[in-house]
Every structure is written in structure tokens, then in C-alpha cells.
Amino acid sequence: MRLKDKVCIITGAAQGIGHATAEKFAAEGAIVIACDRRTEGCNGWESHTLDVTDREQVDAVMAAVKAKHGRIDVLVNNAGITKDARLVKMTTDQFDAVIDVNLRGVFHCAQAVADTMVAQGSGVILNASSVVGIYGNFGQTNYAASKFGVIGFTKTWSRELGPKGVRVNAVAPGFIETPILGTIPDKVMALMREQVPLKRLGKPQEIAAVYAFLASDEASYINGAVIEVSGGMTV
């Protein structure tokens, strides 16, 4: 088991990619700490109610995990939201909400675990980006900005923390079959599939498998990377 006894914190773990990642990490022997605003979907793992935009709550959860387990080995910054609109229609509330969760939340969580990982001389921070953060996408000004920003975080932190034994990488999924796509009409979903060279959407388990690899010692020389898992799609 590649993650045996590693203490792994996963945000946005109640559903979708986060839930699949928690399942995969548990199967690999990890001590899973599942965090979400609502923890109903986190049964079977140690869970904490966590709003990543609330810095006091983030600090409290990370401190509680360290106090209980003595260390933090892996952080998966998976929590994210969308509030789509074209540039001319997007409200500042829509823009701010996405930036607060997808960008500021990643900053909060990473900063809250960094000192612990540096003191240990080891650790892995994995950030959820997106192909939208690389190529852009119609109607997603806020989301694209946040996911492009996450890549900037990843590149910067890999330089700052790498010399301390802490690896930082990002995963950029394409269109994945998760609840976040639940409001998209069937016709649009069919068009999305056609955009992908593999002619299908991805499964959450396929993203989870990449996170598990990056969290493991098998990826010990991977640092500052952004791994696209998109079936070849470039949006």
C-alpha cells in the first residue's frame, strides 16, 4: 500500500473527485482526514466540518489533526465551486465567491500545514487546478482565474518548500462526471464528450489515481508539475 499510515487531509471530500480521492487514499492505507462544509458524505473516515474561506476554522482543523496524529503528510486542496457567467454578465459576488473558495481557500490550507511539513522535513501538497486554468473557457472568467492562480501557487511553493523536503504539485482535470456537472443539459454534455479525443468524460476515480501517485514516494522526484488528466482535451 503506497500511502500506508500517511496522514492525509482532503478538502471537498464529501462528493465528486474529493470523495473518490478519499476512497483511493484509504485503499492505499492512508489515515484519511475528510473535510467539507457538510460531512454527510464522509462516513467511515475521520471528518471535520471545514469552510476553506474561514481562516480561523482552517487553522483550528489543521491544529486538531496535528494534535491527534502528530504529523500531516499530505494535503489535497480539492474544494472548489463554479459560478459561471460571461464577462459582461458576471457579478462581483459571483467573481468573489469563486476566488474565495478556489484560490484564497487553497492559500489558507497550504499555509496552515506548511510549517508542520517543513518541521517534519517532508510532506506533499496537491492542488486542484483545471484545464480551464490552462486554456480558458467561455463563461468562466472567475473559475479560469482561480485555477490559473493555483498553478502559480504550485510553481512558487515548489520552489519555496522543495528545499525543505516538501513537494507541491497540481492536477488539471478535464470534464469529469461529478455533481458539479449536474445542471448541464444533455445536449451540452454530448458536445463536451465530442470535444475530448477519447470521446468520453473522465471518472472521479481517474483523477484520484493521479493524486494517489503524486502523494506517494513513487513520485518522489516530481515537484512543481501540473498534470493534465483530460483525455487530450484542450477546451
CATH of residue 187? 3.40.50.720
- Say if 2 falls within a structural domain: no
Report the Cα 126 to chain-centroid distance in Å.
6
What is the pLDDT at residue 235? 66
What is the pLDDT at residue 98? 98
- Say if 171 falls within a structural domain: yes
- Say if 185 falls within a structural domain: yes
What stretches of 28-140 show up as alpha helix (H) in DSSP? Answer: 55-69, 92-99, 105-120, 132-135
- Say if 108 falls within a structural domain: yes
The residues, any chain, with a CB within 8 Å of residue 132's CB and separated by 6 or more, are 140, 143, 144, 147, 235
CB of 33 within 8 A of CB of 10?
yes
- Say if 233 falls within a structural domain: no
Give catalytic status of residue 143 as yes or no.
yes
Q: To which H or E segment does residue 48 belong?
A: strand 46-49
Residue 224 domain boundaries: 7-228
- Say if 73 falls within a structural domain: yes
What is the pLDDT at residue 182? 74
Stretches where the chain sits below pLDDT 70 are 235
Q: Report the alpha-carbon distance of residue 120 to residue 165 in Å, rounded.
A: 8
Q: Report the alpha-carbon distance of residue 49 to residue 38 in Å, rounded.
A: 6
- Say if 234 falls within a structural domain: no
| Structural domain count, the chain | 1
| Identified catalytic residue from 135, 143, 211, 221 | 143
- Say if 61 falls within a structural domain: yes
What is the number of residues in the chain?
Answer: 235
CB of 173 within 8 A of CB of 227?
no
Nearest to 122 by CA among 220, 12, 26, 209: 220
